[in-house]
Amino acid sequence: MANSCFKMYAENLVDQATLTASSENALFPVSNLQDPRRSKVYRSTSNSDNIVLDFQESSEINGIFIVADKRSGFGVSTVTVEFNGTNTWGSPAHTETITLSEKHNIGYLELASTISYRFARIVLTSVLGYCELSKVFIGKDIGLTRTIGFGWTIKDEELSQKQKNRYGQTFVDVITRQKIIGAALRNMQKEDLAIFNDMMDLVGETKPVYIKLGDDTMVDDYRRFSGPVYFDDVPTITNAHFNRYNLSMSLREVT
């Protein structure tokens, strides 16, 4: 059975979409949403803006991530995502409001069921004189359904650098931490292994995937552990026994 505490999303419809912003700061263009670095942000020129995304064809969607720059946080107050079959927005067919975690710089929504539309519109409000977003994922999880066991480890790697001078004074170059996640999928059936291998053919170690790790019953907000990550290397696959496979992987948070 599938583990609802761990979901992977690989094919981001935003990356292939045509993006049209209602306003745009020339130094922070909307095309920055298609750059994997979280420091490359889109910024508008007013407190109320929107971005229309044309996926070119009707596409399946069951998950949405809204990600902030780690150092500056969210540059928006509210985010609503609308979906429609055509580029008209008087009465969109489907609308979702994304709850943003200011503490963890991420908003995540798992849709109750898969929807399929060609167009999306991200509606933004702010009180800063502009609206700012770092990364957006819109798409579908890879669909693992036959994995019985799942385990993970996580640590924060300190990226700040400290130097001490001859008088014992310490100088610190403060940088945000980076999450390192170790994950293991156990007793995978061959169908799930094929799905996972197809995902690796798509993203490898060079493109980010988005993960949802944990659930609402966790002591800390599950969004602390979720968001865009890179594979540190190609995962190790072990044939545990006949038609059952164990897989281990190391994931590094996108910064």
CATH number of the domain encompassing residue 67: 2.60.120.260
Same domain, 45 and 130: yes
pLDDT at residue 219, rounded to an integer: 62
Q: What local confidence, expressed as pLDDT, does residue 161 receive?
A: 85
CB-CB contact of 110 with 62 (8 Å): yes
Residues 107 and 46 in one domain: yes
Average the pLDDT over 12-25 and give the result: 98
Could you tell me the two tokens for 144? 């693992």
Q: Tell me the pLDDT tens digit for each residue of 82-93.
A: 999 999 999 999
**Domain end position, chosen among 106, 139, 172:** 139
Residue 3 scores a pLDDT above 60 = no
Q: Which residues pair with 227 in a beta bridge?
A: 211
Range of the domain at 18: 12-139
C-alpha closest to that of 22 among 125, 162, 142, 166:
125
Is the confidence at residue 2, as pLDDT, over 60?
A: no
Does one domain contain both 59 and 155? no
Phi, psi values for residue 183, rounded to 5°: -135, 145
The one-letter code for the residue type at 66 is I
Confidence of residue 4 (pLDDT cuts 50, 70, 90): low
Tell me which of 242 and 129 has the higher pLDDT: 129
Among candidate residues 139, 168, 201, the one where a domain is terminated: 139
Count of domains for the chain: 2
Q: Are 136 and 34 in contact (CB under 8 A)?
A: no
Domain boundary among 77, 112, 139: 139
Q: DSSP state, 22? A: S
Q: Is the pLDDT of residue 36 over 50?
A: yes
